[in-house]
Structures are given as C-alpha cells and as structure tokens.
Amino acid sequence: MANEIRRVDLHCKTNNAAHNTDEITTSQLIVRRGQPFSITLEMAFAFQTSDILQLTVETGRFPSQSQGTKCTFTNRAPTCVAGSKAIWSCKVDDRSIFQRGIVIFSVTPPADAPVGRYSLSAELKGGTPVKESLVVLFNPWCWDDSVYLPDEKERREYVMNEQGLIYSGTAYNFDSMIWEFGQFEEEMVDICLKLLDVNPKHQRDPDGDVSARCNPIYVGRVISAMINSNDDMGVLVGCWGNNFQDGVPPTRWTGSVSILQRWYQNNCRAVKYGQCWVFAGVMCTVMRFFGIPCRVVTNFVSAHDTDNSLTIDQYFDEYGFKPKQSLDDIWNFHVWVEGWMKRPDLQKEGCYDGWQVLDPTPQEKSGGVFCCGPAPVFAIHQGHMDLKYDIPFVFSEVNADVVKWMLNADGSKTKIHSLSNTAGVGQNISTKAVGALTRNDITNTYKYQEGSPMERVVYDHALRLNSQGKGVVGADTCQLTEPKEVEMSLEKETSFKNAQDIKLNLKVSNRDKKNKTMFILVNAQAMNYTGTQARNILHAQHENTLLAGQVVNIPIHIPYSVYSKHTGNFDSMKVSALTKDDKGDIYGAQIDFALEDPPISIKVLGEACVNRPMMIEVEFQNPLNETLRCCCLTITGCGLFRSDHIETNCMELQPNETLNLHINTTPYKAGMRTLIADFDCSAFRDIKGSCTVYIKP
C-alpha cells in the first residue's frame, strides 16, 4: 500500500509565538518573512529517505513562480524554473522520526516574499495533496527584510504596541488622546487582507498587485489610498463640517477596531466620518498589523499649500476678522503617520532609508489618487523636492512661509508685518515616546532650527527645485525688515478651561520717540482646527494715545455665557488684535488656543483576570449650573470589550450633579490593557478619559 500524509500540524501556538504574532491568534498560522517556522507531517507508514515529499505555497488568484507568488520545494531541493522570484527554503529537521512516519520541516519564507494569505499543500509524489493555509507578514526583526528595525524597544513600540497617543489642540496649548490601534484583534487578519484585495490596483491587475506586495513602499502607498474612500472602496468618509447626523462624529472615535469592523461587516462600505487624526490612527493599525513599523505624528501650525509656492497668504478684513477659508490655509494641527522602510528606489547608499511620511487624509491627489507618500523624512529635512513621493507638499506643511494681509475697502491689501513670518509653520512636531506615555518632539528631524542660516538655505534650495514653485516673491516679502515702532502681544490671564470665563491681556508698546494715536480692533473667533471660521464671538474697539515709550495693557474678557453658544461647533478659539498707526503701518498679535475639558474618571474596581467578570467605575461631575442633556457614555478597550459599550442610562445630568456608573465586562486577553471613556452631551463634546489595567492570565 502506498504511503500517504495523514495529518499536518502547523504548530500555530509555538510558531506564532516565535514570530511575534500569537497576540493575534494561535488558531491559524501567521509568520514573518525571512524567519523559519516548523511544520510536522504524519505519514501512514514509515518515511523512507528515497521518498519525495513536495510542498507548494501559493498566493493570489493566479500564482506563478516568475511573479514570486508560487514556490514548490521538496525534501531534497526547491524545484524552481528560470527567472523565479521569492524562493522559499526548506530542510528536514533532525527531530523527525522517520520510522514512525513523522517528518518535521523547517520552512523559511524569503525576506522579499509578498505579504498576504498563502495556501500550503503537501504531498508524497503520486499521492493525494493535503492543504493548509498561512499568512505571511513583513518582519522588522529580520536583517534582510526592507522594514528591519534594529532596536528592540522601538519594535515593541512601533509594531507590537496596541495603544498610542495622538496629539491635538494648538501649538500654544496641545494635549494628547489615547488611541486604541488594536492591530492584534483576531478580526484584523481578514480585515487588513480584504483592504488589499479591494484596492483598485488589484482590480485592474491582480497578478501584478499581489506580486508587488513584497514591497513596503507599494503596500504603504496602497494603504494610504484605501484608508480614505475618495477614489475606491476605502474605509473612511472625511467630513470637516458640523453635520454628522448620518454617521459618527470624528471626535467620538477612540480607536481603529470598531471603524474597521464596521467597514468589513458592511461589505466594504465606507464608514462616516473621519478627520485627520482618525485617518492616521486607522492607517497606523493596518501598517502595524502587516509588520511595517509605524507611528502617528502631529504637526502643529500645519500649512496646506495647494499651488506648491511654499508660501501661504492669509487675509483679514478691516474689522480684524479672518474671512472664509481660501485655497491655501493653515491648520492648527495635522496628523499623518510615518512608516519605517528602506528606499532602494531612491539611492543605493541608503540615506533616504528610515522614517517615511504617509498621509491617508484626502487633501491632494498623488498619481491621480488621493494618497500621500511615502516621502522620506530626511529628504524633507534637506529640501530634496525632486524625489518620490509628494515631498513638496509635505515640505510646505512643515516649512512654508506665511504672509498676512489686511484687505482694504478699495480692494488693495496691506501687509501685516508683525504677523508675517518664516518660522511660524511646523511647530512642536510630536509623536508618542518609546515605552512611555509622554511626548517625543521630532521637529528637528523635519527641518533645521527655525531662524538658523541652514533653515533658510534649505528653504531657498527647495524653492529652486520645486518646478511648480511660484513663491519667490512671497519668500522675499517675508524677509523684509519689520517695523519696530509698535509691539503687540497677547498673554493669558487665566487658564483656558471650558465652562469658565476666558481672560487675556493685550500688551501694546510704543517704541517710537513720538506719541501715537492707535485705533485697536480686538476680535475673538470660534475656529475649526482646519483654519476655517466657525463663529464670531467677540468684537471690541479701543482708541488709545500712547506716549513715547509707553506700554498699555488692555484686558480682554470672553464670558462662558458668550462662547458656550458655539461650544459644539468649534475646536479652538482665535483672538486677534490689529491696529494701524499714523503712518499707515499695520501691527497685530494673535493667539490660537484650545479649551481644556472638565475631567472624567474611569477605573477598575478590584482585581482583573482574563475570562472573569471585571467591574469598571466611571465618574463625571457636571460643572455647570445648567442641566446637561442628550448625555451618552461610550466605553471601549481592546481585549476588554469585543464591541463598543454604549451607556444610555444617563440621558440627563442635573446642575453640579455627579454621574457615577458601574459597568461589567469580561476581559478576553491578558496583559496591560487600556480602558477609554467618551462622554458626550449638550454642553461638552466627546470628553475623554482613560486608565490602564493589568489583566492577569
């Protein structure tokens, strides 16, 4: 009787642990390329050394050896045709027991194998094949993989950490929010592979697309396009207005998992709604799942330069208000991701290897598609504008010059010297620190220090290289000597807390040797974080005669009763002051700030163990003398809740009343986990609180 294979053991638990994928699952084999894994074949009879045992791995609809999507090998040698790519290796392990028909193979996917789901078939020559499947991911632990990251602490942070921080607010006062990436939830396997399979490149050329998945440059660019839904069956719909009634407000999300689940469960229908930090958070999840080291980055005072001039022109009317958004504008902050990979397509010496900017927020098209990157951070730092991909756009986000103008009634415009500058854009570029819930400032990786000679040298070099550049005039204008006769500054007198009055001080100094009569306009506007005006809150006029050398302090008071009417419709506040002296020179000062929300507390009561009930306590005190209506509390946590827990038993909260809720859940994963609470109501929008908890095995 002919010998045959009775059973294949993929050793999912031990293999996945060795490949750092056991956090995803131990029920299916998930390995990383360039690293061996073991499989055991059990035969009906003793295995003879003369027997030929053949294994075949395939991926894609039409696998081929020339595309690197198919490889056949035996216990003797690979059986490759000329021109084969991505050749797998295999050897018989010494632990095999031939006389009992047990053959143990050590199989190694090549370090350039396409990532994705593979079928694996094993057969004795002339026998019936036995089929299994496995998933292959990028390997930042493997020297030969193009995503190799040498530092283990960084691998733990940028690949293995399921939680992170995303920074938001303004350059003046910024804050962080916890974000649950959840890349190791078991559903991510099917979701992330589906994301690749429905991308338009796969629909047009399935063979070429699957073969190209060996390259993290290609995969990162596909993911960047697929997180937004502008051109394809992507994950998220962007919305920068205030009407989210047919979806979820972007501020409500606390993590990526529920977004990706909704997309997948609804047959790849885009989820409503996202804004830049949501797009970036979801992309970071998918990148980390595939094994590409990834981190979320926030750029404060982020320029949106639509004409590649490297100069942003902004306008104020004669009353000091900022008119509606122009094509070019400055966002309080913008969030993207960085992925770690080699760039052999740019230079063999490797100077462009390392962190690459990828931006899934749909702003401008790249190659006819709404995506951005990968753009080497080093190329941005050096102003190398002529390299792939999208370096001019990212360079302007962190380094554009700003010219601000007053629009006169006759249609002319006058430059506001004190508000125009070359150093305002690209401040406090931030990402989560490795191994800590603290901020890492990475501004110096994007540009030389503002005001330094090298920063101007790089800017001028970038302007010359930029074939689309029209900004020479704007750049020169920014460098004109500013008048020094009048100085203005805005200083805070109280903290910027939501539900409390806001008090500032406008300091005006006459540096001239002559007296000056100043007509000063002070305005406060509710702003969206993208630089668009939401509402006018305050308008005041002051006429002051300043003696030579005199300093005048003008108090500014914005009552809560005034700005609270617009609390749900803006992200920050802009207070600006403009004045014109006897010579017609215009001076100004402005400050952008976000409001600090009242705190919400979340904690675990007692010990927490996997697969045992756990009690959570949430507390929130209404700080107002008014009833909070339409209250909604959402609790999330990877490994703690399989879906978002929404509490509806708190629809109203009376003045100064304290909400105290106890919620039960059963953790299904051990280790350090994060609980996140989101509280939304009529007066406050999506207040966040979080805590970490250790779940015992």
- DSSP letter string over 67-129? TTSEEEEESS-B---TT--S--EEEE-TT-BGGGTEEEEEEE--TTPPPEEEEEEEEETTS--
Determine, yes or no, domain membership for 37. yes
Domain end among 452, 476, 500:
476
Domain end among 476, 500, 530:
476
Which CATH number do you get for residue 664?
Answer: 2.60.40.10
Residue 608: which domain range? 601-695
pLDDT of residue 382: 96
Distance CA 515, CA 506 (A): 19
Q: Is position 652 annotated in a ligand binding site?
A: no
**Is residue 616 packed enough to be buried (19+ CB in 10 Å), middle (13-18) or exposed (0-12)?**
buried
Determine, yes or no, domain membership for 362. yes
pLDDT of residue 410: 82
- 161 and 131 in a common domain: no
Give SS3 for 463. Answer: helix
Q: What single DSSP character describes residue 321?
A: -
- 92 and 190 in a common domain: no
Q: Is position 455 annotated in a ligand binding site?
A: yes
Determine, yes or no, domain membership for 143. no
Determine, yes or no, domain membership for 255. yes
> At a CB cut-off of 8 Å and minimum separation 6, what does 579 contact?
486, 488, 508, 518, 519, 520, 521, 586, 587, 588
- 324 and 422 in a common domain: yes
Residue of 609, 574, 611 lying closest to 591 (CA atoms) = 574
Residue of 395, 418, 401, 402 lying closest to 484 (CA atoms) = 418
Distance CA 163, CA 663 (A): 22
In this structure, are residues 680 and 595 in contact, taking their beta carbons and an 8 Å threshold?
A: no
In this structure, are residues 419 and 429 in contact, taking their beta carbons and an 8 Å threshold?
A: no
In this structure, are residues 398 and 429 in contact, taking their beta carbons and an 8 Å threshold?
A: yes
Q: Is position 399 annotated in a ligand binding site?
A: yes
- 578 and 496 in a common domain: yes
Q: Which helix (H) or strand (E) holds 674?
A: strand 671-680
- 360 and 496 in a common domain: no
Distance CA 680, CA 648 (A): 11
pLDDT of residue 470: 47
In this structure, are residues 56 and 44 in contact, taking their beta carbons and an 8 Å threshold?
A: no
Q: How many helices (H) and strands (E) does the chain have?
A: 14, 38
Determine, yes or no, domain membership for 320. yes
Residue of 107, 103, 72 lying closest to 3 (CA atoms) = 103
- 506 and 607 in a common domain: no
Distance CA 132, CA 285 (A): 27
- 294 and 204 in a common domain: yes
- 126 and 55 in a common domain: yes
In this structure, are residues 661 and 647 in contact, taking their beta carbons and an 8 Å threshold?
A: yes
Query: Catalytic amino acids?
Result: 276, 334, 359
How are beta strands 427-432 and 413-415 bridged, if at all? unpaired
List per-block mean pLDDT (blocks of 10 residues) for the chain, which spans 697 residues. 90 98 97 98 91 94 94 77 78 93 96 98 89 98 98 98 97 95 97 98 96 98 98 94 92 97 98 98 99 99 87 80 71 98 92 98 93 97 95 95 84 77 91 98 96 92 72 44 77 93 95 88 91 86 89 94 79 89 84 94 96 96 94 94 80 93 94 95 93 96
Give SS3 for 20. Answer: coil
Q: How far is CA 330 from CA 394, 411, 533, in A?
A: 13, 23, 12
Sign of the dihedral through C-alpha 37, 43, 46, 49: negative
- 665 and 566 in a common domain: no
CA 220 to chain centre: 13
Distance CA 583, CA 405 (A): 17
Determine, yes or no, domain membership for 145. no
CA 442 to chain centre: 15
The first and second tokens of residue 110, run together, are 């090549």
Residue of 218, 178, 189 lying closest to 24 (CA atoms) = 189
- 609 and 588 in a common domain: no
Specify the number of domains making up the chain: 4
Determine, yes or no, domain membership for 144. no
Domain end among 537, 559, 593:
593
- 372 and 255 in a common domain: yes
Distance CA 373, CA 357 (A): 6
Give SS3 for 465. Answer: helix
Determine, yes or no, domain membership for 295. yes
pLDDT of residue 469: 43
- 128 and 274 in a common domain: no
